[in-house]
């Protein structure tokens, strides 16, 4: 017997039973982004490895431990571990930054990172992200954060806290790096091997280390807000004013430094305690240096990425509503061979009008067909037997109330079904409203 092949560790199948949750969050994400004037971009699943080395940064966990890299015909490619690098590459390559600024794009894509799989941490996961290029003022930072907040509100999330910080610009960060080096140097030997190299190359990354030993050492490390230059401080303070104006609560969290190298000034995370240790649902920040670093003209930019698995987990744990999947409107049960082509024709007519219609494809008896119609939750069932064909009249059975409504199998069929379906829909809405009152 052949050995069963299973999916790779850290990946997930999203079956038709689960997909409505994904459709819900994807729709919320799209509608939110569009309401802020962002437009969708689609980029390749893999890029030249160099793109990620130059953007995400060589001292990050992502580059050091988590990339899926393949060599194909002498060129190295990497499955995208995140969406920003590819998006900026695409903006540059397509001349988008020569167009009207700011350029505002969003994406929904899969990312690949070789991590230890656990709840909310996968090897293939999905992000909704936005990037805005061209504007440098703090009102842009507020706009990006407001977009994320708006999305989380639409999803119905409560109990998710916005943490913000500023990690300064290259000028004030140099000062901060010196202070960090001085602080960590006496502990060099105790740090994990990764952090020992970080100490030389990018000491701020040590604050982001997941090792409990490094975290303990970092407990009393100097904090970046004490080192911000005048410009970065003013930017940070204005952002806070705008957030207050927008009624968005936030926490100043000087420990947030973000996992990727390209951030400057504002960084932020939306964190929940409802889904265990992997509580950062959304994370982002400003990255004013990245576009130049990738060969473009110096252009300020900002964005965030939101983990869709973590969003769905949080929504589930908080009992948030997902949009119900579309159900079958009509199931037709043909009782003999002659009824089958009629069932086919009627089905197709209604499908053209946007209804979901099914008929028997399993050669089942009436009882089994009714059971199936129930299982798929069909609103109406119509039996087509010898009598119905002869009289050209059938009954639509409302599966919820059991009520039977006559319908003629002639040129009035389409219109009559439409009327009944609309009536049914309104009844549903009226019932809902009654329940609420």
**Of 149 and 397, CB closest to ligand ATP:** 149
- Determine the residue with CB nearest ligand ATP: 307
Q: Does 80 bind ligand ATP (CB under 6 A)?
A: no
125 part of the interface to ligand ATP, by CB under 6 A? yes
Q: Contact between 261 and ligand ATP (CB under 6 A)?
A: no
Interface pick for ligand ATP out of 54, 80, 82, 102 (rule CB under 6 A): 82
Min dist CB 125 to ligand ATP, Å, is 3
Q: How far is the CB of 122 from ligand ATP (least distance, A)?
A: 4
Binding to ligand ATP in span 127-166, by CB under 6 A = 127
> How many chain residues bind ligand ATP (CB under 6 A)?
19
- When binding is defined by CB under 6 A, the residue of 148, 283, 328, 382 that contacts ligand ATP is 283
3-state secondary structure the chain: CCCCCCCCCCCCCCCCCCHHHHHHHHHHHHHHHHHCCCEECCCCCEEEHHHHHHHCCCCCHHHHHHCCEEEECCEEEEECCCCHHHHHHHHHHCCHHHCCCCEEEEEEEEEECCCCCECCECCEEEEEEEEEECCCCHHHHHHHHHHHHHHHHHCCCCCEEEEEEECCCHHHHHHHHHHHHHHHHHHHHHCCHHHHHHHHHCHHHHHHCCCHHHHHHHHHCCCHHHHCCHHHHHHHHHHHHHHHHCCCCCEECCCCCCCCCCCEEEEEEEEECCCCCCCEEEEEEECCCHHHHCCCCCCCEEEEEEEHHHHHHHHHHCCCCCCCCCCCCEEEEECCCCHHHHHHHHHHHHHHCCCCEEECCCCCCHHHHHHHHHHCCCCEEEEECHHHHHHCEEEEEECCCCCEEEEECCCCHHHHHHHHHHHHHHHHHHHHHHHHC
| Contact status: 314 vs ligand ATP (CB under 6 A) | no
User: Which residues ranging from 89 to 118 are in contact with ligand ATP (CB under 6 A)?
Assistant: 113, 115
Q: Is 305 in the site for ligand ATP (CB under 6 A)?
A: yes
The piece of 28-36, 119-127, 233-241, 359-367 that touches ligand ATP (CB under 6 A) is 119-127
Whichever of 311 and 350 has its CB closer to ligand ATP, that residue is 311
Return the residue of 254, 259, 325, 385 that touches ligand ATP, per CB under 6 A. Answer: 259
- The verdict on 285 binding ligand ATP (CB under 6 A) reads no
- Taking the least distance from each CB to ligand ATP, the nearer of 235 and 310 is 310
Query: Does residue 310 interact with ligand ATP by CB under 6 A?
Result: yes
Residue 84 touches ligand ATP, criterion: CB under 6 A: no
- Candidates 307, 342, 369, 421: give the one binding ligand ATP (CB under 6 A): 307
Residues that bind ligand ATP (CB under 6 A): 82, 113, 115, 120-122, 125, 127, 259-260, 278, 280-283, 305, 307, 309-310
């Amino acid at each position: 017997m052949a050995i069963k092949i299973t999916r790779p560790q850290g990946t997930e199948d999203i079956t038709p039973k689960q997909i409505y949750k994904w459709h819900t969050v994807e729709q919320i994400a799209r509608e939110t982004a569009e309401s802020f004037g962002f437009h969708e971009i689609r980029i390749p699943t893999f890029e030249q490895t160099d793109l990620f080395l130059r953007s995400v940064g060589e001292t990050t966990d992502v580059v050091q431990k988590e990339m899926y890299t393949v060599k194909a015909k002498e060129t190295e490619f990497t499955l995208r571990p995140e969406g920003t690098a590819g998006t900026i590459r695409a903006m540059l390559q397509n001349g988008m930054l020569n167009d009207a600024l700011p350029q505002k794009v969003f994406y929904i894509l899969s990312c690949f990172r070789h991590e230890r799989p656990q709840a909310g941490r996968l090897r293939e996961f999905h992000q909704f992200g936005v990037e805005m290029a061209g504007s440098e003022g703090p009102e842009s930072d507020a706009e990006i954060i407001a977009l994320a907040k708006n999305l989380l509100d639409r999803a119905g999330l409560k109990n998710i806290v916005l943490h913000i910080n500023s990690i300064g610009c290259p000028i004030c960060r140099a000062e901060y790096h010196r202070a960090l080096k001085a602080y960590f140097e006496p502990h060099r030997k105790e740090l994990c091997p990764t952090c020992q190299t970080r100490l030389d190359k990018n000491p701020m990354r040590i604050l982001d280390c997941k090792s409990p030993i490094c975290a303990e050492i970092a407990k009393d490390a100097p904090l970046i807000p004490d080192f911000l230059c005048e410009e970065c401080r003013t930017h940070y303070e204005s952002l806070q004013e705008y957030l207050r104006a927008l009624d968005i609560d936030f926490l100043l969290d000087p420990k947030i430094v973000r996992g990727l190298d390209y951030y400057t000034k504002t960084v932020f995370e939306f964190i929940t305690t409802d889904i265990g240790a992997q509580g950062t649902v959304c994370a982002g920040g400003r990255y004013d240096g990245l576009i130049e670093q990738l060969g473009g003209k110096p252009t300020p930019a900002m964005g965030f990425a939101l983990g869709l698995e973590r969003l769905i987990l949080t929504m589930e744990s908080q009992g948030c509503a997902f949009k119900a999947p579309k159900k079958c409107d009509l199931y037709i049960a043909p009782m003999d061979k002659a009824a089958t082509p009629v069932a086919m024709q009627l089905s197709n007519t209604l499908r053209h009008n946007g209804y979901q219609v099914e008929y028997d494809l399993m050669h089942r008896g009436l009882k089994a067909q009714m059971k199936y119609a129930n299982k798929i939750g069909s609103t109406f069932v119509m039996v087509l037997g010898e009598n119905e064909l002869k009289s050209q009249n059938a009954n639509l059975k409302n599966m919820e109330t059991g009520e039977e409504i006559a319908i003629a199998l002639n040129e009035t069929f389409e219109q009559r079904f439409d009327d009944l379906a609309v009536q049914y829909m309104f009844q549903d809405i009226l019932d809902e409203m009654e329940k609420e009152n």
